[in-house]
Every structure is written in structure tokens, then in C-alpha cells.
Structure 1
Amino acid sequence: MKQSKILKKLLNTTTITDKIVFVISISGGKDSKATLIVSLPLLLKVVKPSQIKVVYCDTHWEKKVTNDEIESIRVKLQELDIQFLVLSNPKYPNGLPDLIKSKKAFPTRMAKTCTQLLKMIPAVEYYKSLNAKGLKVISLVGKRRDESEDRKNIPDSEYYSYKDWGFDIYYPIADWTETDVYSCLDETWGIPLSYFQGNKRVGCDECFQADLKSISLMSEDRIKQMEYVENEVSQYYKDKKPTFFFRRNKTFPNGHAPIREIVNYAKEKYNFNYYTFHTRSLKAMSKKIGQKALRYKFIQSGYIPDKTNFSKYVNGVLSVPQSMQFDVEVLTTKILNSKERSELLKFEKLEDIQSEDNNLVCDCESYNML
């Protein structure tokens, strides 16, 4: 597994005392998880577990799969005797819905009130409480230079000023590539499942910056919740009805559209399915060793798939049954290397995929993705 040169340099050039506390922020996404994984072994060589804190700022707007991911991390940290804290802003007990109602407006790219008030403020207030106890805070955050144009010049570290106080922030994987991140996760605690479901952004469901592909995957429960919030905010406006998403195009010339309309637009725009992780794994393994040899591998592992149906699983005509999924995951790690497994995250379009037996076109309902 790749190591963090940035964190190693920090530890080699810093006098470590029992008054230093390292705080690692996680979001449920790949970069913060990789930062946590690569940092823990290095930190535990020089500090006690009690000097490491892992924090998660809850906006109460996360995807279920993200909450499940956070819970799995909490369990691992508990085994290491490392404190895990869920932070939130007490001014907004229900998170983002309360914030939107309070501001009578939705977050925007120019005014990211959600990030500032639901994530940054709770985290910094916690850091300040540690400082009040005479502890020096060193924050570790998962930002990388190749993430975006905005982050290409981020330094290895910087000082964050907050009122009359401040703290050091380090970015342990700032020089990593996306491939480095996926390889790290693949070799250790696993890639967050949200990425396998087609989500480009992990965390809030959905972020106002979400792309149309992610919007097309939104759950009905979340759509209804957004409709409620939009109706609540609209009562404060006479001439216009503000909406959660802003998309200016021919369909929405003024840039605003109710959530139901934007979801339907997104589904129409992206009217195709994405392979599930298990289907993509089968296809990749079949391409590498052949479908017949792959079926024999399953037989050796104790699962004996029907010959006709197995062909349909490989070709995406039928979704992989739950009874077969565990064997798919095990064989994926045995047959495909780390780079090939990372490639499974690149979603492909399902177009005219047909069964070699009866020419049945792939049925989108098999995937339950939209």
C-alpha cells in the first residue's frame, strides 16, 4: 500500500508530546477513508490511541449507503480503541432541512451554507474545545491536487485562522492520484459501496452540486422530502419559487425547477442502466479467463450456477442472484488484480446487450437502479 510522504515528513520534523491531538475528518467518501487508513499506522507508532480522534459531521441529509459506510468505520475504530465522534450544529437539530428553513433559501455554489454551518463550524468548535484543554490540534483532511482545477495548487499543509485562534491542517494524500486512492481502499478496508451504485459524489443525498446521473438515481423518499422543503421555502417568495437544484437550459430557461421535474429530466437524459458491481465483475472475469473456465471456478467454490442462466448473468440480461454474490466477490479478488478491480468503478452504458440464447434485451428493472 502506498504511504503518505506528507504525513511521514510531519511526524519526522515535529516534536511529538502528549499534548498533541491528531483529528482525522471523514465524510464517507473515498478520499477521507484513504486518508484515515494511511494515517492510522503511522500515527500509532508515535502517539497513543487517545491522541487520535476521528470526526464525522452529520448533515442529516446523507445517503443510507453513506451512513452504513460510516457505521462500518466506527466499528473498526472501536476495535482499535480510537475515539469516533459524530458532530452536528445544535442550531439545526434536523440538519439541512432546518438550515434551509432558517435561511429561507437553498445552498448555492456561491453560498455553501451547508458546508460552512453543518460541517466546518461544528468541526472547528470541537477543535477549539480541545485547545481549551491545553491540547494542540493537528487536523488531517483528505484533499488531493488532481481532484479538480480548484484544488490543483493546494499545499501539503496550511494554517486555518478562526477568530482569535487557529490550527494546522495537513493533507496526507494531496499528491495521490485517484488510482492510488482506489488501490489503497481495494487492498484494505474496501471501496465505499456508494461508488458502485453509480454515485459520483458521496455524502449528501443529493448535493446541490450533483450531476444529472446522480440525480437520476435519487430515492422516492428523498424526492418527497425535497418537495416538502421546497414548498416550505416558497411561501416566503411572491414572484419566484426557489428550488433545490439550479439548471439553466432550454428545459429550465430561468434555471430553477421543482425536484420532481429535475429528477424526471435527469432520468430521461440518462435513460440507461449501469451494471451492478457483480455483473461488471462477472463480465471482466469472463473476458479474462473465458466464460466456461469462469463457470468451473464457481463450481469449485461450491456454487453451481445453471449453464443457461450463468450466460445471462455474465451478459447482463439477468441480475446476479443474492445467493451467488458472495462467490462473485471472492473470485473477483482471486482472478482480477488491483488495477482491474478498480476499473470496475467505471460505469458503462447498457446498450443492446442481448442474451446469446434467446436474444432478450437487457431489462432495466432487473437492476433497480433508477
Structure 2
Amino acid sequence: MRLLPVLALAAGLVTAPVAQADSGHTVRFATFNASLNRNAPGQLVADLSTPDNPQAREVAEVIQRNRPDVLLINEFDFAPQAVDLFRDNYLERGQNGARPVDYPYAFIAPSNTGVLTGFDLDRNGSTNTGNDAHGFGLFEGQFGMLVLSKYPIDARNARTFQHFLWKDMPNAMLPDDPATAAPKDWYSPEILNVLRLSSKSHWDVPVKIGRKTLHFLVSHPTPPTFDGPEDRNGTRNNDEIRFWADYVTPGKGRYIYDDKGRRGGLSPSATFVVAGDNNSDPLDGDSVPGAIDRLLDAPRVIDPHPGSYGGVLAAREQGGANATHEGDPFFDTADFNDNAPGNLRVDYVLPSKGLIPVRAAVYWPTDELSRLNDASDHHLVRVDVFVSGR
């Protein structure tokens, strides 16, 4: 049996067979920006309604060849019907010799993308474009998120932060209007009274692994580009990343409230894995300097430094901006435009202290499976962690 908790629907918990942890075992966590977004509402459902969509088949094969136990998919439009279609028609059918993979549990919830604010956020004279939404999108839910799991998801205790207001973050890095001397004045007080922090959403998804609960903390901060000198996307990207750093650091998350009104961050005794496309490289690219370091350097976070030889070869062969990068291409996770910004490390799987990283990798094949590198401009990132049964 499957569980598909959708926040907009009152779905309950369903049990399904799952391996039990006694003394403990290794669990594979992964994130994959799979580019399963579409340009119109209903299109993803249509594409997944048959088992022969080429891109969806490639995405499914990447997942089957990596076989994560708990997976975040970024850029999966908010279409609950599409979840079962993707599982039935793609993941549970072997792709090009890869073994089928079964995820009995799923979590999907609404996204801020495409939800119009009623204001002209980019000052282009219109209030009804994707740039005027709480998160860029041509329709509500475009570029959403999906969590798939082989282990039970405690949907009743999941926390979502879709409606958290940006201005409610203490010392928020709000953008400045470069035409004035006033600080943080790109957005009017009226806009800030409605503008949400999350460009998609932030979710705390509890996963039951044996007798333990592990919190899967997932998000997809906005790219720090596609704006102007006010850097409204760069500053927001910084604070979307900071949200999780504050949430998992004792004493820093008191200001946070979720969509049910519950306040506070994560319990200091809880274990977690932060995952997602954070659109921020530690050394290169266009994000605010130090943005991702807020999370990487948080006292309870472990960076297992996943990497690939494929990233090294790609940077060497493609050249362009890659030749000027400070970061080691071994850690790159995304293959972007060669001229700018080049390949970057933007996708992360970060376990907490209390978990033991066993191995970590970026899936960037260089053999006959390199054809799968075209599935998305991002690569799946995976980290195996040992979860104690006690």
C-alpha cells in the first residue's frame, strides 16, 4: 500500500512493509533536481500518463541506478495525480536494464511558485507575471517538490513553512533600491506584509526508520539571478538557505512558525538530513558571498563532500567559466552554461551530527551511462548514512 500525504487533502497514515532497524543500518538519502517541471498546468500529468516520455524515462533510470531510500525531487510540479503516475509508469518499470524501484511513501504539498502577490515585485508595470508571484512560476505549483521514501513518513507531524513571511526573519537581508539611500527599501511595507520567504516551500518531513525518527529538511531556494542591481533574488536565496541553518541550531529558530502556527525550530536532540537544490556554490557563481556557508558551517551539520570524476572531466572539456573557478570541479553537481556561470556545486545532502556518513557521491557517469547526464542540468547527489537502531 502507498501513502501520498497531500497537505491540501486530509490523508492518513498507511503502513507498508519496510526493513526494520535493530542495531542500525545504512540508509541512502538523495536529492535530484530532475527538471520534471512543465510549462502548463496538467502537462506533467499528461506526460506521465503513458510510460514512454523520454525525459521521464531517463530521470527514472537515474533514480533506479542510484536506488536512494529517501529522495527529494526538485522541479516536480505540484500535481498529486502525477506522483502515482511517475511511480507506476516509470519507477516501477525497469528502464534500459535498470531494476524497478518501489517507493511506498510519498509527500507532496503546495508551492509558492506561481501564486501571485498582487504587487509589481519586479517594477515592470505589471502585477500578473511569474516575477510577481511569491515564487517564480507560470502557474501555481510549477517547479514544486516531491519526497519519495521506502520508509514510513509521519505526515501528521510534518511541518511546512510555505506562508512564513520574509520580514519575520530577524535581520532579514531584504533588497535595497539602488536609486535611494534608504536600506532594505526595494519592497514597500505593504509588499512585505504579504511576501513569503520560501520561493517554493520549506518542509520538515519526519521519516520513521526502525524505532527512530529522522527529519528530512527539504527546500529549493530561488536562483540568485534573473533580477537587477537590487539583487532581490540573491538576497532571498541567502535567507532561504539561512532558514534551515537557524532551524537546526539551538536557540536560533525561536522566531520560526509553520503553516499550522506552531513556533520554534528543531529539537536539539533530533537527527536530520538537509537536502535540496540550494542554488549556491561556496566559491563560484552569483549567490551572496557566504550564503551556503551559513548552512555548511552550522554547528550540527556535517558536509560529507560528495563528488565525481565526471564533474572534473566536464569542467576540463567544456572550459569557459569553469577555467576561472576557484572551487574544485570534483564537487560540482550542476552542468550550467559554459560561459556563465559554468558548472557549480549547488545541490546538497547534509546529515546531522548523530548520523555517520558512510559514503557520498555525485552521479555524473563517464561510461556508456553518460547518456543519462542529459536527463537534467543537475546531477543526483546521494549520501549513505548509518542510522543507529538505539
TM-score band, normalised by shorter chain: under 0.3
Flag the structure with larger Rg.
1
Q: TM-score, normalised by structure 1?
A: 0.25
TM-score, with normalisation over the residues of structure 2? 0.24
Structure 1 or 2: larger helix share? 1
Q: Which of the pair has the greater relative contact order for Cα pairs under 8 Å at 6+ separation?
A: 2
Q: Which has the higher strand share?
A: 2
